[in-house]
Chains A and B, each alone.
Chain A
Amino acid sequence: MRYLPKSDAERAAMLRDIGAASIDELFSVIPNEYRLTRDLNVPRQMGESEIIDHFKAAAQKNANGYTSFLGAGAYRHYRPVIIDSLVQRGEFLTSYTPYQAEITQGTLQAIFEFQTMICELTGKDIANASMYDGSTGAAEAVMMAVRITGRDGVLVARTAHPEYREVMHTYAQHQGHDAREIDYGSDGRIDLAALDAAVTNQTACVLVQSPNFFGIVEDIPAIAEIAHKKGALLIVSIAEAVSLGIVRPPVEADIVSMEAQSFGVALSYGGPYCGVLAAKEKYLRQMPGRLVGETRDTEGRRGFVLTLSTREQHIRREKATSNICTNQALVALMATIFMTVYGKQGIRELALQNLAKAKYAADTLGKQGKLLFASTPRFHEFVLQTDETPDQLNVRLLEKKIIGGLSLKKWYPELGNATLWCATELTTKEQINTAASVLANAPVTAAAR
């Protein structure tokens, strides 16, 4: 198929074929008041050289040459160049949903390998062929738990990503869920006593994120025990896939939802990212989205097909398991290539490097402020409390071309002047030392308050 606009001759031929004298006549059934009678107010077309200049100018707005300590669900990791060279192959780049197995074995095999690697990483039996991102994946996991249990109580840790929670609540308000949040304790983890008191036999699921929004590893076995003793499911949300290189996989979880952006997907101003949904096999038929299965063709050769799609929207319409009807095949392919290139040992080494860099950063920056939840195990993010406000601090850091930690005031005002910092394998010791020296030189007026 060629993606070229229609010519006047082609338009005329089509009109002749359908027996309309003009395009206006074709649309004459639409009442006049709903028809646009002027040209669209869009800029004129650009020449190729103008387009290149336009994008060059836009690229100048990127924070090139800046050091970033931002994390919070969007992580800066190295992207091996093989990822972009492979995903730009036309066979992958322009392919549509692989409904027709006969002509899409390559796409189907890549998705099957994605599912297999995600299962190995998360310790689950089944994984689907990706969701939009970590937030919608978490929301779908909640709806899945509600369907499985036939209950409508949803308990969400306040230490889960605030934007994931917002998406979940948006979904929940039209699903009739009774969603409540459970606060965290002094160690920065979900308050187990509060959770224990809140779980009832009407609770469909408990959702926690680990490492949580503060970068802290939650006590998954303890949370699982509390949820499971009342028959509720445990959903573990993971915002940083690289953590699985060192953090124990959430084997107790019934459903795992994850953001896999860290696996070779560019930060790209917040998307497109790659959501992951994995679960125990017994929940297979309640899992939304696409699944690819391995099979044999009539001649006994190994092949791949979309499977279990009878519950999907294109067949079951309004009774479908979920309204999700798209996945992120190309972005999932980036993650697949990333996982293949790094391998099991490589992802472990990558995670160890992140851990080491973050420890150095927390120790160094921690001397210039107060490290919160300091004694709880964490991965590559930490919360720093300072005398200066996050805005004051970040203005001074920007002067040194440093993008400092994310202000937590909007979501956790009780933490005062708290910022969330992240260090990855791309963060250097010099960058950390420079940031620490900026923090050390806080104006006297701010420090005295």
Chain B
Amino acid sequence: MAYPANYKYTREHEWIEVSGKIGTVGITDYAQNSLGDIVFVDAPKVGDKVEKGAVFGSVESVKAVSDLYSPVSGTVTEVNESLKDSPEKINTDAHAAWIIKVELSDPAEVDSLLDAAAYEKFIAEETGK
């Protein structure tokens, strides 16, 4: 699957799409593929603070529970409620099935994230290990 060029990525396999002050966050196709069938998403509440690099929730697959690390700092403005009943949407289309939207407190943080080419190179190295 292609990694959208307008997204930024973390080494913990989250993506973020920034539009103005709002960042939309999900996990990458590589992450969903490693996790297997996702059965539950534990997301924060609207109004919760998230911090760059800190855990903001978890995804549970039939194999494991993995923490979600926030790509940016800010305040949660929206949570994808449809994942409550259909967490498998992440498996179907990870780059469309967003988890939270965040109002960025420091938009400059985005610059330190990986672009699509760097992320693809990173996961190629991960896979090669």
Q: A135 to chain B: closest CB distance in Å?
A: 28
Q: Is the interface of B mostly helix, strand, loop or mixed?
A: strand
Q: Which residues of A contact B60 (CB under 8 A)?
A: 285, 310-311
Q: B88 to chain A: closest CB distance in Å?
A: 16
Q: B120 to chain A: closest CB distance in Å?
A: 28
Partner of B67, one of A285, A315, A319: A319
Partner of B40, one of A285, A315, A316, A319: A285
CB-based nearest A residue for B62: A310
Q: A260 to chain B: closest CB distance in Å?
A: 29
Q: B54 to chain A: closest CB distance in Å?
A: 14
Chain B interface residue count, CB cutoff 8 Å, equals 9
Q: Does B77 lie at the interface of the complex (its beta carbon under 8 Å from any beta carbon of A)?
A: no
Chain A interface residue count, CB cutoff 8 Å, equals 6
Give bound CA distance, A319 to B58, whole Å.
11
Q: Does B52 lie at the interface of the complex (its beta carbon under 8 Å from any beta carbon of A)?
A: no
Task: Tell me the A306-322 residues at the B interface (CB within 8 Å).
Answer: 310-311, 315-316, 319
Partner of B42, one of A285, A316, A319: A285
Q: Does B61 lie at the interface of the complex (its beta carbon under 8 Å from any beta carbon of A)?
A: yes
Q: Which residues of B contact A319 (CB under 8 A)?
A: 65, 67
Q: Does B123 lie at the interface of the complex (its beta carbon under 8 Å from any beta carbon of A)?
A: no
Q: Which residues of B contact A311 (CB under 8 A)?
A: 60, 65
Give bound CA distance, A319 to B60, whole Å.
13
Task: Tell me the B16-65 residues at the A interface (CB within 8 Å).
Answer: 40, 42, 60-65
Q: Which residues of A contact B63 (CB under 8 A)?
A: 310
On A, residues with C-beta under 8 Å from B are: 285, 310-311, 315-316, 319
On B, residues with C-beta under 8 Å from A are: 40, 42, 60-65, 67
A-B contacts, 8 of them at CB < 8 A, read: A285-B60, A310-B61, A310-B63, A310-B65, A311-B65, A315-B64, A316-B64, A316-B65
- Top 5 nearest A-B pairs by Cβ distance? A310-B65, A311-B65, A310-B64, A310-B60, A316-B65
